[in-house]
A and B are shown apart, each in its own frame.
Chain A
Amino acid sequence: MRIALFIPCYIDAFFPEVGVATLELLERFGHEVMYPRDQTCCGQPMANSGFNVDCAATEALFVRNFSGFDYIVAPSGSCVHHVRDNFDAIEQTADVKEVRARTFELVEFLHDVLKVDDFPWANFPHRVGLHNSCGTLRRLKHAKPSELNEPFFSKPMDLLSKVRGIEFVMPARPDECCGFGGTFSVFEEVVSTKMGYDKVSDHARAGAEYIVSADTSCLMHQQGCAERIGVPIKFIHIAQILNGASA
């Protein structure tokens, strides 16, 4: 199986350890993982702001980089959501459709494609609060959102439950948005940061030592909020825990 690794721009620039963990984790399962060098971004920042025209060239570049692989895997739910559900600034050729259909977010790739049932190297003896980003929760459907009257399921919880020593805490509002929202975080920065303060405080009250998520963008925002108001909580991407990070 030839897997291409998509490392979104902000992970590349600010959280390389998340990219490294994703790469190593996928390699642990014996797959050939490649990192196309010319990759930049999926186009989401422009598209989310309504500027579809301005992301056409970026989307075209994405397709050039990621054509011809069996799977494209990224440790970022919102980027995968963009590629899968909104990536329409360019003509939808067979190649484009192929790339879109083969793009997976890491948790769903492990859960649904590789169907991993054990992470023998993983041990994380800490109390964690799980943050499902809105993109993974309500678009990629990682888990049952609290609004719906449907049977409970949670793919990230399924995976994390296989990690030894881990303990989950439940905040009062488990799937309330943390306020990142892409460019919302700067265009509506007061509301965005207030939501972030409330989010990290909720997890802290529940007793979380760590907030774990499949979306680094939410974590970057929450970390900035927690540091500003002095909430002593740590942040970690799910790939790092599953890859055996100990703290």
Chain B
Amino acid sequence: MTSLPQPLDGDGAMLHPELRADDDADAIIRDGRRLDHAEASSKPLRPPPEKQPRGAKIHRSRPVDQAEAAARFIAAPEHQKMHDERLWDLRQKRDREMHGIPEWEELRSLASAIKEHTLTHLDEYLDQFEANARANGIHVHWARDAAEHNHIVHGILSDHGAKSLIKSKSMLTEECGLRHYMASVGIEVIETDLGERIQQLDNEDPSHVVVPAVHKLRTDVAEVFSRTIGTDPANSDVHYLAEAQREANRPLILNADAGMTGANFVVAETGTFVVCTNEGNADLSANVPKLHIASIGIEKIIPRLEHLAVFIRLLSRSALGSPITQYTSHFRGPREGGEMHVVFVDNGRSERLGLAEFWTSLKCIRCGACMNTCPVYRRSGGLSYGATYSGPIGLIIDPTFNARKYSNLPFASTLNGSCTNVCPVKINIHEQIYAWRRELVKQHEVPFVKKAAMKAAGELLSRPIAYRAAIASTNVALAHLPRFVIYNGLNAWGKHREVPHPPKQTFHSWYHAKRGGTK
């Protein structure tokens, strides 16, 4: 039996016998003729595809329980395995590309230095960009926060009587909740990135900054498309699904009133900006309608065009393990008869810039390499974080938006440090995760149980005599308690793994017995 649905012939059992292929391996031939009664043409039933695990449960500002959502993701083994292997594959491709560049580590240092310089002179470079961009005929707007951003964009669209907006992928607009806002004012938003469109149709956030639907199996996509654009629910052939989506989306793109992009880099000296995609969808979004709006975080700026080369060499290699994105488009100004707007968004960035331990998180170029390498992320799925930014970079950015809501996230890490090593701009991600834990404890954003346990541990471990007594009873307990006492729902260690076998004696008592007294 075939375990994966096949295109066209996948539902042979459902087809009229005449429609079935001649070379059907399951056919039974008698006397040179094919036996076509029900039993013969019946194929074994396929089990229904594994249901997609959904993300973290969100209750307003209550702390997101990442561990709970991650456990549900792991309970869906097909999804978890595909997700882990797909992202690990990206990590391996990244390694291959890295080894092709002898000066890789030097490039990372250079990129980091350029970003740190720019972030510490942010006002100057933003002013320089604004002046140069205006000279290029670009309208420049400034938004303090998400709400202001959405109002400005809405205003520009209203001025043009625009009712539909095609847009390319932008984490900033996710951060600002642009789609929800536009829906509330009656403007239709159409995502042009395939993965992002899948997520939009499924009414789900992107789970990854570069590959937004990476947590979905193709059977999940078939389900979403059958519900939303009328594809055959049983057909999960990738080409069929991609083509169906293109057919459905293309007319919407061609008839849209306005286009929106983000930007990967903004060049101060030229007053231009750069968008990198692999589908060319940003170019459709920017070039089909006459009105182009670019929403850009203020940290995206770099001083000079020559600096761009450093980042372009790092970006796609780190993200997908490809030398460069298929499209690297420079936007220099409105075309004849068109209009171009840049909306710069702060939304907490200035405040983050003032955080001594965390400001370098603003160096991030959103490549997603930290997610691809993160062993926790690969096993949890990006939606388990319940935040715009998931994975390691999310752990250190999300709490700046809402310390209480995202107070569990910095604990969703083993502090293994792989994220820091793959980061193309050398953000010390794992050290910032560690620092966030301290910060959240300081701000009293950790559960009481944990607090009490740590206080008790601290007291015990600083009193040698009490500690010795406790150790002795622990080992006695492990050696003599019945199994169900050690392996129960309350003992988190023993739920899914065995506890260590208690030895006859501790090292301490061995030393005392064998070596007697010293210091």
**A191 and B67 in contact, given A43-B461, A51-B458, A185-B493 (Cβ under 8 angstroms):** yes
Complex Cα distance, B461 from A38, in Å, reads 10
Complex Cα distance, B519 from A187, in Å, reads 38
Complex Cα distance, B441 from A5, in Å, reads 32
Complex Cα distance, B70 from A20, in Å, reads 40
Choose the segment among A101-109, A113-121, A156-164, A223-231 that binds chain B (4+ C-beta atoms closer than 8 Å): A223-231
Q: Are A20 and B510 in touch, CB under 8 angstroms?
A: yes
Q: 1/0 per residue B192-213: CB within 8 Å of A?
A: 0000000000000000000000
Q: Are A184 and B411 in touch, CB under 8 angstroms?
A: yes
Q: Chain B residues near A193: list those with CB within 8 A.
A: 495-497
Q: Chain A residues near B455: list those with CB within 8 A.
A: 51, 54
Answer whether residue A95 sits at the interface, using C-beta atoms and an 8 A cutoff.
Answer: no
Complex Cα distance, B267 from A72, in Å, reads 52
- The distance from the CB of A182 to the nearest CB of chain B, in whole angstroms, is 8
Q: 1/0 per residue B76-106: CB within 8 Å of A?
A: 0000100010001000000100110110110
Q: 1/0 per residue A36-48: CB within 8 Å of B?
A: 1111110101101
Interface residue count on the A side (C-beta < 8 Å): 79
Answer whether residue B499 sits at the interface, using C-beta atoms and an 8 A cutoff.
Answer: yes
Q: Are A149 and B446 in touch, CB under 8 angstroms?
A: no
One of A58, A177, A224 near B461 (C-beta < 8 A): A58
Q: Are B506 and A16 in touch, CB under 8 angstroms?
A: yes
Q: Are A184 and B421 in touch, CB under 8 angstroms?
A: no
Complex Cα distance, B497 from A180, in Å, reads 11
Q: Are B507 and A190 in touch, CB under 8 angstroms?
A: no
Answer whether residue A221 sits at the interface, using C-beta atoms and an 8 A cutoff.
Answer: yes
One of A13, A41, A50, A149 near B441 (C-beta < 8 A): A50
Q: Chain B residues near A41: list those with CB within 8 A.
A: 461
Q: Chain B residues near A187: list those with CB within 8 A.
A: 67, 411, 450, 492
- The distance from the CB of B419 to the nearest CB of chain A, in whole angstroms, is 9
Q: Chain B residues near A184: list those with CB within 8 A.
A: 411, 413-415
Interface residues of A in 1-39 (CB under 8 A from B): 7, 9-20, 23, 34-39
Answer whether residue B375 sits at the interface, using C-beta atoms and an 8 A cutoff.
Answer: yes
Answer whether residue A52 sits at the interface, using C-beta atoms and an 8 A cutoff.
Answer: yes
Q: Are B99 and A191 in touch, CB under 8 angstroms?
A: no
Q: 1/0 per residue B491-519: CB within 8 Å of A?
A: 01101111111110111101100010111
Answer whether residue A179 sits at the interface, using C-beta atoms and an 8 A cutoff.
Answer: yes
Answer whether residue A60 sits at the interface, using C-beta atoms and an 8 A cutoff.
Answer: yes
Answer whether residue A173 sits at the interface, using C-beta atoms and an 8 A cutoff.
Answer: yes
Complex Cα distance, B114 from A81, in Å, reads 30
Q: Are B417 and A138 in touch, CB under 8 angstroms?
A: yes
Q: Chain A residues near B415: list those with CB within 8 A.
A: 48, 134, 181-182, 184
Complex Cα distance, B430 from A48, in Å, reads 11
Q: Are B418 and A177 in touch, CB under 8 angstroms?
A: yes
Q: Are B459 and A51 in touch, CB under 8 angstroms?
A: no
Choose the segment among B36-44, B172-180, B227-235, B432-440 that binds chain A (4+ C-beta atoms closer than 8 Å): B432-440
Q: Are A189 and B493 in touch, CB under 8 angstroms?
A: yes
Q: Chain B residues near A225: list those with CB within 8 A.
A: 496-497
Q: Are B462 and A188 in touch, CB under 8 angstroms?
A: no
Answer whether residue A186 sits at the interface, using C-beta atoms and an 8 A cutoff.
Answer: yes
Answer whether residue A146 sits at the interface, using C-beta atoms and an 8 A cutoff.
Answer: yes
One of B74, B104, B105 near A191 (C-beta < 8 A): B74
Q: Chain B residues near A93: list those with CB within 8 A.
A: none
Complex Cα distance, B66 from A194, in Å, reads 15
Q: Are B440 and A50 in touch, CB under 8 angstroms?
A: yes
Q: Are B421 and A12 in touch, CB under 8 angstroms?
A: no
Answer whether residue A176 sits at the interface, using C-beta atoms and an 8 A cutoff.
Answer: yes
Q: Are A14 and B500 in touch, CB under 8 angstroms?
A: yes
Answer whether residue B28 sits at the interface, using C-beta atoms and an 8 A cutoff.
Answer: no
One of B380, B475, B496 near A228 (C-beta < 8 A): B496
Most buried by B among A36, A60, A181: A181
- The distance from the CB of B44 to the nearest CB of chain A, in whole angstroms, is 29
Interface residues of A in 209-247 (CB under 8 A from B): 220-221, 223-225, 227-228
- The distance from the CB of B390 to the nearest CB of chain A, in whole angstroms, is 14
One of B417, B446, B501, B511 near A35 (C-beta < 8 A): B511
Complex Cα distance, B441 from A211, in Å, reads 36
Answer whether residue B401 sits at the interface, using C-beta atoms and an 8 A cutoff.
Answer: no
Answer whether residue B474 sits at the interface, using C-beta atoms and an 8 A cutoff.
Answer: yes
Interface residues of B in 472-499 (CB under 8 A from A): 474-475, 492-493, 495-499
**A190 and B519 in contact, given A14-B502, A38-B464, A40-B461 (Cβ under 8 angstroms):** no
- The distance from the CB of B101 to the nearest CB of chain A, in whole angstroms, is 7
One of A11, A34, A139 near B507 (C-beta < 8 A): A11
Complex Cα distance, B474 from A10, in Å, reads 11
Q: 1/0 per residue B238-260: CB within 8 Å of A?
A: 00000000000000000000000
One of B414, B418, B440, B497 near A224 (C-beta < 8 A): B497
Query: 4 tightest CB-CB pairs across the interface, nearest first?
Result: A181-B414, A50-B437, A54-B458, A57-B462
Interface residues of B (CB under 8 A from A): 66-67, 70-71, 74, 80, 84, 88, 95, 98-99, 101-102, 104-105, 373, 375-376, 379-380, 410-418, 420-422, 430, 434, 436-441, 446, 450-451, 454-455, 457-459, 461-464, 467, 471, 474-475, 492-493, 495-503, 505-508, 510-511, 515, 517-519
CB pairs A–B below 8 angstroms (5 shown):
A12-B506, A40-B464, A46-B454, A54-B454, A189-B496
Q: Given A37-B508, A186-B493, 14 more contacts at CB 8 Å?
A: A23-B511, A40-B467, A48-B415, A49-B454, A53-B458, A134-B414, A138-B418, A147-B95, A180-B414, A188-B376, A195-B375, A195-B414, A224-B498, A228-B496
